[in-house]
Structure 1
Amino acid sequence: MDQFIEFLKHWLPTMQIVTVIVGTLAAFKQRNRLLNLFVLFLWYAILNEFFADYYGTEIQPGNNSIVYNVFYPVFFGVLFYLLHQSIKSRRFKQLIVFMYGSYFISMFIELFVLGVDYTLQRQSLPYIIAGTSLLVCFLYFFVELLREELVMHVERNMVFWIATAYFFYLLAYVPLKVEQNYYANSVRMASLFDVYFIMTLIMNLFLIIGFVWSSLWEEK
């Protein structure tokens, strides 16, 4: 198992680049506004990873928290926006706006009430709130799809693949953020991060399959 995790750590960056390239090709082929936005976000996410490594090595050795704390609002914003544009219920659209607003309120509380230093520590409470909210949104999105007459052709919907990929990712990572508050720097925490690498692999596989499959249907 340890060898597999080390293999993942070594090759995940390459797989993420492959995901972005496949997504870019799909975006050129499908010319879908939401897909274009998501692919731009993936490019930003890749560049952010490289910059985070550089920042944690050259600028502030051992700590790149600020880089991720800047990234998280964009990460959650893109996913909330995709769902807001894809879900049909007006009331739930309003709830999505409220959820994203709650995320910023929780950031304010963590920064100015709890006194968390975002240059030294990654956000925890806001991530848990936004991540849990997204899980609820994903479930509602899936339920809406099940009600549609074209549910048999759901594989043509790229947002479905994005929602599935990040549903499983957040389903694993949100509990990890909760555990992180209690088991930081422990052996248990290290084992929890193994789950993160596995779920990142699964997330990228779902995205690649979605890009390829939805593009094939576009050709037909």
Structure 2
Amino acid sequence: MFKIYYGTYIDFGRNRICTNIYNFIYFLTLFYLFYSEFKRRNAKLAVKGFALLYVLSIFLELVILKIDFNDESQVVSYILGGLGVIFFTFYYLLSLLNSRESSNIFRSLLFWIVIAHFFYYLGFTPFKIGENYFASFEKYHHLFVVKVYITFLKCIIISFGFIWSRQNLQS
């Protein structure tokens, strides 16, 4: 809602900065979630390294590529963040398969959050690649409606996870 307000009343039509700041906070939160969940030292170092690479890619886009974050979305950093989430999702799921906790996996809220973000970034990242370049073409504009469905799927999976894990707490 703030993004709409900002683009309408503060910086007329130039509100990508709100999305870029949101993505920065969101990816770092997801990386922290993975970092706090992983037990192995190497996995924790990988998450720290990927988070550092993500921050450096934002610096690259701001300083070296001189992208105006009011008009354009993060592309390089978003792709790195999305690939990091997908990679750490695979690692998380593999570690669950090898652990003894896998019998009650569907009652874990973290499991549903990870699955939702896996599907989200798997489907959303290709659209992010072309967003700055193809979104202005009428010919391809209808394809970007798929982003709404991908976001809706993510919300449904996370909502289901909240309901399912809450049932575990009550029993």
**Same fold judged by TM-score > 0.5?**
yes
Task: Give 4+ residue runs of structure 1 displaced > 4 Å after superposition.
Answer: none
Asked if 1 retains the 8 angstrom alpha-carbon contact of 2:72 and 2:132, the reply is: no
**RMSD (Å) for aligned C-alpha atoms:** 1.3
CA distance in 1, matches of 2:9, 2:133: 29
- 1:59 equivalent in alignment to 2:15: no
Shift in Å, 1:192: 3.0
- 1:89 equivalent in alignment to 2:48: no
**Percent of aligned pairs with the same amino acid:** 32
Instruction: Pick the aligned partner of 1:206 from 143, 150, 157.
Output: 157
CA distance in 2, matches of 1:124, 1:150: 37
Asked if 1 retains the 8 angstrom alpha-carbon contact of 2:57 and 2:77, the reply is: yes
Shift in Å, 1:207: 0.8
Shift in Å, 1:124: 1.1
TM (normalized to structure 1)?
0.74
Instruction: Pick the aligned partner of 1:161 from 74, 91, 112.
Output: 112
The 3-state SS of whatever aligns with 1:187 is coil
Name 2:74's counterpart in structure 1.
123
Asked if 2 retains the 8 angstrom alpha-carbon contact of 1:110 and 1:125, the reply is: yes
CA distance in 1, matches of 2:130, 2:98: 36
CA spacing shift, 1:188–1:133, aligned 2, 3 Å: farther
Asked if 2 retains the 8 angstrom alpha-carbon contact of 1:180 and 1:189, the reply is: no
Whose RCO is larger (CA < 8 A, sep 6+)? 1
Q: Number of aligned residue pairs: give it.
A: 171
Shift in Å, 1:177: 1.2
1:107-128 C-alpha deviation (Å, 9 max, x unpaired): 1111111110112222111111
CA spacing shift, 1:206–1:78, aligned 2, 3 Å: same
CA distance in 1, matches of 2:59, 2:27: 16
Instruction: Pick the aligned partner of 2:100 from 149, 156, 159.
Output: 149
Q: Where do 5+ consecutive residues of structure 2 fail to align?
A: none
Q: Where do 5+ consecutive residues of structure 1 fail to align?
A: 1-49
Name 1:140's counterpart in structure 2.
91
